[in-house]
């Protein structure tokens, strides 16, 4: 059988889009041999036609109307890399209506509108591939959809934002301040153009929604998961945590099943230093998946960056080509039902709490009295010696429901002897069941 020519419309020529363009060219021969297809980028939709690009792209390919990709009857596959959820949604919906295969790296779009998009895809009998939407170059979507399909997924614990992992690593290893470390991540092209979603946890939150929906087989509503970012973490906290034998990681935790309720959250957490995820540093991501048959698995790689992310997009393109040539190849998607999500207040954990307190007698007693009143146990207390008027007071909290701890903390913050914003970090045990 001869090679099929796959006509591709590429929407978005930013960091990842440029990587796809360049790497399809770089590995053209290899791809042709492996999947008996030639990929031809027929049109590229960009926002600004005049923008200077660090690589020559023939002007004839460029358009500033994404509709040109949809309206071209020769285009078989549309790659959506424009980000955002407005134009991107219209583009994907219109592409599916015209029965074009969609490849998207847009986690926000799929986390917020996945249920609707995949329902339309099923109606039109056209696949949507989204490997690049989670953990950059790590093939975690196909792993869950295909290789682990026979498993009940019991726990997913992941470091799935490269920017945050980079920032936390630089703060720990070099003592950089948060702002300086963020600037480095931006300069290296890891952070999104607007890094707000990286550092406030929502980039990982969107990815967690997708992983959780695949894990439980039902759509997890993005507005029901708990998400915290790393903006409040100081070098001071990182040092305290290190001395206690832990490291701080922004973790996505997905636990439980759709039959009961799912625990889905993204938070900076204390990870024991000997745990595998504690040694995942820099821009690297890692996702641990535990299934009832396979046990524990670990996927590690670059979670951001031009080449690794383009590797995932190209893999989707190959799946699309296989589908167009032979029988369609696509992994399972969640059913059209919605999963129940456990309220964060009901989750139970140990915690690290750092307070800034007046350095006077009786403070510890006041804090401990409030904790005791709410049934919260304190397992250890650290107050480095200082003659300064304000001191750090670090408390290790025993297993407590987050709801009770939140109430107690509000009372502690209202005490005259406490100042500044406290740092509250969950300690992760990686147990299958919530406590
Ligand atoms: N900005 C993301 C990260 C990359 O830092 O992980 C792609 O999601």
DSSP string, 98-147: TT-EEEE--HHHHHHHHHHHHHHHHHHT--EE-GGGSSTTS-HHHIIIII
| pLDDT at residue 435 greater than cutoff 60 | no
CA of 286 to the centre of ligand 1 (A): 13
Alpha carbon nearest to ligand 1 atom 7, residue:
304
Question: Residue 127 phi/psi, 5° resolution?
Answer: -80, 155
The 10s digit of each residue's pLDDT in 207-230 is 999 999 999 999 999 999 999 999
Question: 136: Cβ below 6 Å to ligand 1?
Answer: yes
Q: Which of 83-97, 117-131, 168-182, 312-326 has the lowest mean pLDDT?
A: 312-326
Q: What is the mean pLDDT of residues 99-111?
A: 97
Q: Which of 27-31, 55-59, 125-129, 232-236 has the lowest mean pLDDT?
A: 55-59
So what's the pLDDT on residue 293? 97
How many A from CA of 71 to the centre of ligand 1?
31
Residue given tokens 């009143």 in the structure block: 373
User: Average pLDDT, stretch 178-183?
Assistant: 94
16-27: per-residue pLDDT in tens?
999 999 999 999
Give the Cα separation of 98 and 201 in Å (integer): 35
Strand partners, 350: 427
| Residue 185 CA, closest ligand 1 atom number | 5
Q: What is the pTM of this model?
A: 0.94
Of 109, 141, 161, 201, the residue with max ligand 1 atoms within 8 A of its CB, to mutate for a pocket test, comes to 161
C-alpha distances (whole Å) from 107 to each of 207, 210, 267, 360 are 6, 8, 18, 49
Is 303's C-beta closer than 6 angstroms to any atom of ligand 1?
Answer: yes
What are the residue numbers of the active site?
207
């Amino acid at each position: 059988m001869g090679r099929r020519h796959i006509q591709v419309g590429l929407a978005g020529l930013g960091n990842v889009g440029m990587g796809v363009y360049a790497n399809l060219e770089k590995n053209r021969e290899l791809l042709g041999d492996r999947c008996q297809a030639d990929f031809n980028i027929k049109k590229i939709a960009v926002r600004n036609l005049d923008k200077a690009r660090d690589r020559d792209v023939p002007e004839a390919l460029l358009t500033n109307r994404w509709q040109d990709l949809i309206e071209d009857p020769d285009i078989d596959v549309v790659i959506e890399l424009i980000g955002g959820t407005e134009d991107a949604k219209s583009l994907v919906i219109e592409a599916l209506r015209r029965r074009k295969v969609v490849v998207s790296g847009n986690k926000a779009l799929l986390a917020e509108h996945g249920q609707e998009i995949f329902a339309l895809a099923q109606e039109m009998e056209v696949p949507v591939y989204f490997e690049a939407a989670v953990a950059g170059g790590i093939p975690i979507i196909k792993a869950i959809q295909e290789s682990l399909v026979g498993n009940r997924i019991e726990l997913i614990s992941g470091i799935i934002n490269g920017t945050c992992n980079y920032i936390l690593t630089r703060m720990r290893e070099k003592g950089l301040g948060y702002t300086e470390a963020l600037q480095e991540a931006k300069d290296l092209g890891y952070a999104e153009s607007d890094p707000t979603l990286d550092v406030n946890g929502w980039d990982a939150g969107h990815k967690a929604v997708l992983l959780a929906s695949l894990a439980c087989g039902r759509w997890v509503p993005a507005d029901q998961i708990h998400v915290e970012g790393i903006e409040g973490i100081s070098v001071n906290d990182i040092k305290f945590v290190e001395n206690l034998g832990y490291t701080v990681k922004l973790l996505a935790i997905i636990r439980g099943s759709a039959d009961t309720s799912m625990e889905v959250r993204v938070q900076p957490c204390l990870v024991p230093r000997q745990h595998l995820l504690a040694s995942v540093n820099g821009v690297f991501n890692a996702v641990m998946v535990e299934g009832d048959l396979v046990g524990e698995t670990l996927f590690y790689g670059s979670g951001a960056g031009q080449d690794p992310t383009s590797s995932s997009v190209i893999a989707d393109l190959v799946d699309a080509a296989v589908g167009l040539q032979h029988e369609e190849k696509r992994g399972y998607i969640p059913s059209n039902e919605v999963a129940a999500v456990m309220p964060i207040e009901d989750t139970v954990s140990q915690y690290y709490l750092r307070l800034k307190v007046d350095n006077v007698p009786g403070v510890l007693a006041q804090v401990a009295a409030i904790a005791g009143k709410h049934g919260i146990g304190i397992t250890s207390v650290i107050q480095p010696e200082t003659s300064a008027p304000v001191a750090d007071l670090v408390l290790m909290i025993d297993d407590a429901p987050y709801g009770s701890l939140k109430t107690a903390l509000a009372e502690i913050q209202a005490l005259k002897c406490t100042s500044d914003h406290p740092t509250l970090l969950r300690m992760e045990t990686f147990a299958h069941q919530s406590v």
